[in-house]
A and B are shown apart, each in its own frame.
Chain A
Amino acid sequence: MITAWINSHLLSFIVFAPLVWGLALLVLPERQAPLAKLLGLLGATGVLAVAAVQLLHFNSDPLGQLCAERFPWFTAVGIPVDYHLAVDGLNLWLVLLTTFLVPLTLLGTWNSIGKRAGTAVALFLMLETGMLGALVAQDLLVFYLFWEAMLLPMYFLIGVWGGDERKYAATKFVLFTLAGSLLWLVALLFLAGKAGSFAPEVMAQAVLALPAGTQATLFLAFALAFAIKVPLFPLHTWLPDAHTQAPTGGSVLLAGVLLKLGSYGFLRFAYPMFPQAAARYALLLAVLATVAIVYGALVAMVQTDIKKLVAYSSVSHMGFIMLGIASMTLIGTQGAMLQMLNHGISTGALFLLVGMLYDRAHTRRIADFGGVALKMPVFTAFFLVVTLSSIGLPLTNGFTGEFLILNGTYNSAYAWGRPLACVATLGVLLSAVYMLWMVQRVFWGPANPREDSGTAHLHADLNAREIAVLVPIVVLIFWMGVHPQTFLGHSEGQVGQLLARSAQTTAQANKVTP
């Protein structure tokens, strides 16, 4: 009976099980923290297992929803709100990525949470509910609610378990995100008033009837909220602060999933709903994305803190994703889809690795290291693999994604495609420079001779727990590099349909108003 219920409410179960489990863990007293961590890990692994087993066997119809739940929730003074969740080609792998990263995060930061670990584990699980809910929500108000629901757990994770500047970073994170999402809410309500519904397909119809100027304003309001989350240059300034101050686990999920929700929002809502305005502002987004690629890489190069370097590399990588989406080509968009997963895995892994180093050395300054390879050979091997994947070495996941994005941009119908693709390629080069230079200074060469250096504090190489966290990541890195079709196959149909529909709408609109 329970399995029948779970099957009919599968998505609700996957989304809300972490929340319920997390709330239950809050009951455990402080001294039971190890038990809370264990139970939290088991819960998160259970959710991963259910999601992987149940979602992967629905793959009959490439265009439709693999699995859905829908019923009317409430009528908010006139406009009905549907509790509508669905998994389809666009979000299937992102859902799996999220359920995959949460247990890894919990296991990877087992000993580094420190004080009040039980509460932190509960917050990670609540955050998982917010992320999964936002990924599977098909009704825009429900999406908005989950989108905002992600804020508070992350706020507390940064604020309570973060570094010295945590109060500032946490508040900045919340205010930046809300600045975008509140204006977006106004646009959303305006559109819901016109459409009489929060369903994106109904709203998209209503958009067609609006004047071009209004469409553009609405698109910009949507784009602002998503661009802050991505974050797109010049709205990225909250990200380095949040990343450097957040605890390791917070950084992993922030980079791994939260940022993806911005680009996912573009792909799921902003582009399909406003095809004309999206085409109109494609150049703007593409230029900002390219600036983010190059600027993020240049700033990453001069960082003295490894974590901050990885944070800025995120700005650069997310720029690639946005460029792929802006290209409006099948290849570019598919590349962006893949790159979302890549970035989630590679950057998430980098943050985990930096966290492991920090736990031992209690410093993240590049200058404090040197010769780490001598002390921690296994760690160095893992770090190198992830670094190469982040740079985009062929046979690793990063290569496939960036190649598809650059290919799609170069061949796009827009005149700016070729020049911007050339500039963006520079970003690939720069990523090799900043990552390898950092690896060289941290890992190679003789051990740092200073007595209080970070290297001097490294006594133990990775333990079995840490290796258990990293092995699945490395497997995925190569799997995605060698056989990306596993991950691209699900979204191809839907992305193609999306692009065809927006091309059609734009063409029609151009015919009406030449």
Chain B
Amino acid sequence: MNLSPSMLSALMPLLIPALGACLLPIAALDSDQATVKWIRASMFFIALLALAGGFLYLTRLWASGAQPEFGALHMDRLAQFGGIFVLVAAALAVLQLWDHLHQEGWVKGETLSLLLFSVVGMMLFSATGNLLLLFLGLELLSLPLYALTATVRTREKALEGGMKYFLTGAVASAVFLMGSVLLYGVTGSLDIAVIGQRLAQAGPVDPVALVGAAMLLAGFLFKMSVVPFHQWTPDVYEAAPHPISGFMSVATKGVAVLALLRVLAVGLPAVGGQLREAVAVLAVLSLVLGNLAALAQSSIKRMLAYSSISHAGYLLLGFVAATPAAYAGILFYLLAYLAMNMGAFGILSAFGLVGEEVTFEQLKGRGWQRPGLAIAVALCMFSLAGLPPMAGFYGKYMIFKELIMQGHIALAIVGVLASLVSVYYYLRVPVALFIEQPTAAAQREAAERPALLAPLAGASVLICGFLVLALGLIPGTVLDSFARRAAQAILVQVP
């Protein structure tokens, strides 16, 4: 087969970060050398360069309007959206890792390489409707994340968290694979478009196909950490280095949402319709459980983990509404979530808080020491809580509006009440930063061990705060020029 330029341009966005991932281990062959300053700098430089290269390539592709294909790999606008989303999240995570790994005293060459491989897997996962390629993407994104969770091996909970994630993730992958097999058995195809056509021709949905689709759904929901597939989330987020937790919560959830959109909501509309009630129930469960459990946490990372479960619930509500506008709203929500959650996790690195357990106590009174950072993270928190004029408000607004217009008023009321509850625990961060006084022990500790400066992590938090505000002030522009066009890329395929 000859490689045409169009095929190559479909592949390039994946190849650039993959190239970076392959180069990185060479840059730090002897992992002890990674602590040497210039080697460390060149590692992070390569990683950022690879991410920036992919980003620039994708933005040019987006601007040109081209939607190249390479076999089952569809680099359409939705995939380009997914790629840009993942690359930005990864770049923010790399900025935070620079400081965080240094603070942890665990600068190793493999960390960034694994992160980049995971990025490639995510881009593949959001760019294909072929079940086999999807599985490949799923594994390629998951395996590095399992390892990354356990990467700081000096931590007590790291191996436990990594193992938990690996075992549950392996089961989820197996379930996903089994679902693909069932769909293949019923329709004789692995391509979701063909599967959709054959199922539609066959009339009423085959129960075996329904079970298969439900198993695919379970695989996606596991990656989105929707109740009852959420159990791993708090432990894994706690075990992983803070920037990796942030990256997982944003990028993994994001690409799972994109794949769910491409494969089930649009690819198999009839089956998706039958599963809608189940999706609504799971969304409500995620909202209730995520928000209530988040109330009770003393560890910030566990609070953010439960909050990420509740945000999965909001995103799922968009799938219940199931209109083109709701899908565009979901994509906008993802952008908002990218900024606000990377900011929320980033503040931990920016304040130089190490170890797996970071409590609200440790934030007390710090807002007045670093007002810029604290304001940025407060904006992220208000946005997570859905307060206008931050980006998070518009994400919820668009999803709730479509829900209400489709007549699901009860679900919308559950949604707003859940976000009312969430205000309480999100406010605990600004309360700790600005209102509470540091405890005597914390003051003594701060005097003994002054926090290391974290310029890059701080910059990433400021970027996130800026994005949260900017997306909130010009929601229409972003929605029209970006989110809606990405959603249209796959919606035009269905009659």
B388 in complex: contacting residue of A145, A167, A175, CB < 8 Å: A145
Contact: B388 with A149, CB < 8 Å? Answer: yes
Contact: B476 with A74, CB < 8 Å? Answer: yes
Contact: B398 with A76, CB < 8 Å? Answer: yes
Q: In the docked arrangement, what's the CA distance between A65 and B70, Å?
A: 60
Binding site for B on A (CB under 8 A): 73-79, 81, 116, 144-145, 148-149, 151-152, 155-156, 159-160, 166-167, 170-171, 174-175, 178-179, 182-183, 185-186, 189-190, 192-193
Q: In the docked arrangement, what's the CA distance between A166 and B325, Å?
A: 42
Q: Known contacts A156-B434, A175-B424; can you find 7 more A-B pairs with CB under 8 A?
A: A76-B398, A167-B435, A171-B427, A178-B423, A183-B416, A185-B416, A189-B405
Residues of chain A with a CB closer than 8 A to B400's CB: 185-186, 189
Closest to B434 in A: A160
Residues of chain A with a CB closer than 8 A to B405's CB: 189, 193
Query: Interface residues of B: mostly helix, strand, loop or mixed?
Result: helix
Binding site for A on B (CB under 8 A): 325, 328-329, 368, 382, 387-389, 393-394, 397-398, 400-402, 404-405, 409, 412-413, 416-417, 419-420, 423-424, 427, 430-431, 434-436, 474-477, 479-480, 484
A167 in complex: contacting residue of B389, B413, B431, CB < 8 Å: B431
Contact: B409 with A186, CB < 8 Å? Answer: yes
Closest to B412 in A: A186
Q: In the docked arrangement, what's the CA distance between A113 and B382, Å?
A: 26
The 7 closest A-B pairs by CB, nearest first: A74-B476, A77-B325, A182-B416, A193-B405, A159-B435, A189-B401, A145-B388
Residues of chain B with a CB closer than 8 A to A175's CB: 420, 423-424
A79 in complex: contacting residue of B401, B412, B435, B474, CB < 8 Å: B401
Contact: B479 with A77, CB < 8 Å? Answer: yes
Contact: A186 with B404, CB < 8 Å? Answer: yes
Q: In the docked arrangement, what's the CA distance between A280 and B423, Å?
A: 34
Contact: A182 with B419, CB < 8 Å? Answer: yes
Contact: A182 with B420, CB < 8 Å? Answer: yes
A159 in complex: contacting residue of B401, B417, B431, CB < 8 Å: B431
Nearest Cβ in chain B — how far from A192, in angstroms?
7
Residues of chain B with a CB closer than 8 A to A189's CB: 397, 400-401, 404-405, 412
Nearest Cβ in chain A — how far from B372, in angstroms?
10
Nearest Cβ in chain B — how far from A216, in angstroms?
15
Contact: B389 with A145, CB < 8 Å? Answer: yes
Residues of chain B with a CB closer than 8 A to A116's CB: 368
Closest to A26 in B: B371
Residues of chain B with a CB closer than 8 A to A192's CB: 401
Residues of chain A with a CB closer than 8 A to B484's CB: 77
Closest to B367 in A: A160
Q: In the docked arrangement, what's the CA distance between A160 and B432, Å?
A: 11
Residues of chain B with a CB closer than 8 A to A79's CB: 401
Residues of chain B with a CB closer than 8 A to A155's CB: 427
Q: In the docked arrangement, what's the CA distance between A46 and B405, Å?
A: 45
Residues of chain A with a CB closer than 8 A to B328's CB: 77
Q: In the docked arrangement, what's the CA distance between A167 and B412, Å?
A: 30
A-B contact pairs, 11 of them (CB 8 A): A76-B476, A81-B476, A145-B388, A148-B388, A160-B434, A170-B435, A174-B423, A175-B423, A186-B413, A186-B416, A189-B397
Q: In the docked arrangement, what's the CA distance between A174 and B412, Å?
A: 21
Residues of chain A with a CB closer than 8 A to B477's CB: 74
Residues of chain A with a CB closer than 8 A to B431's CB: 159, 167, 170-171
Closest to A193 in B: B405
Contact: A76 with B402, CB < 8 Å? Answer: no
Closest to B368 in A: A116
Q: In the docked arrangement, what's the CA distance between A175 and B477, Å?
A: 31
Nearest Cβ in chain A — how far from B220, in angstroms?
24
Contact: A76 with B401, CB < 8 Å? Answer: yes
Contact: A174 with B427, CB < 8 Å? Answer: yes
Residues of chain B with a CB closer than 8 A to A166's CB: 435
Contact: A77 with B388, CB < 8 Å? Answer: no
